[in-house]
């Protein structure tokens, strides 16, 4: 795993959390950092982002452990989610919408896919 890929993935994850936080705040009011952390782990409105977070965490762990096969598996999972998002999946549908609405996400998406 390259440093560019890791940095881009973490930035993408941060941006997706921020997008979802803003959507929730429009309905429910301002969230504190602690509320955001809790929501990111427990709130169903954030669950679609978990589909990306899990392989990112697996990639970090595999890289740390020096497990090249696991690094490749996690990279393939990420590639499958991001290179051609499936519009009929929960993640793909939401991600494609965010790509339409958020220019910053498009730029980071470009960085991630280039690093993959």
How does pLDDT run across 44-95, given as a tens digit for each residue? 889 999 999 999 999 999 999 999 999 999 999 999 999 999 999 999 999 9
Whether the pLDDT of residue 43 is over 90: the answer is no
pLDDT digit string (tens) for 5-26?
Answer: 999 999 999 999 999 999 999 9
Structural domains in the chain (count): 1
The model's confidence at residue 3, banded by pLDDT at 50, 70 and 90, is confident
Q: What was the pLDDT predicted at 36?
A: 87
Q: What is the mean pLDDT of residues 92-113?
A: 97
3-state helix, strand, coil in the chain (%, to 5): 85, 0, 15
Q: What was the pLDDT predicted at 1?
A: 60
The domain in which residue 37 lies consists of: 3-115
Between the CA of residue 6 and those of 19, 31, 85, 86, what are the distances in Å? 20, 27, 19, 23
Q: If we measure between CA atoms, which residue out of 98, 67, 92, 78 comes closest to residue 8?
A: 78
The model's confidence at residue 2, banded by pLDDT at 50, 70 and 90, is confident
Question: pTM, whole model, 2 decimals?
Answer: 0.88
Q: If we measure between CA atoms, which residue out of 101, 1, 115, 105 comes closest to residue 58?
A: 1
């Amino acid at each position: 795993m390259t440093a560019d890929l890791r940095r881009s993935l973490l930035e993408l994850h941060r941006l997706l959390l921020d997008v979802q936080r803003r959507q929730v705040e429009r309905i429910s009011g301002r969230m504190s950092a602690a509320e955001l952390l809790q929501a990111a782990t427990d709130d169903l409105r954030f669950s679609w982002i978990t589909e990306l977070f899990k392989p990112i965490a697996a990639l970090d762990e595999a890289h740390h452990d020096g497990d090249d096969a696991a690094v490749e598996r996690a990279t393939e999972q990420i590639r499958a989610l991001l290179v051609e998002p499936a519009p009929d999946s929960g993640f793909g549908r939401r991600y494609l919408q965010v790509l339409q609405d958020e220019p910053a996400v498009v730029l980071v998406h470009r960085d991630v896919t280039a690093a993959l």
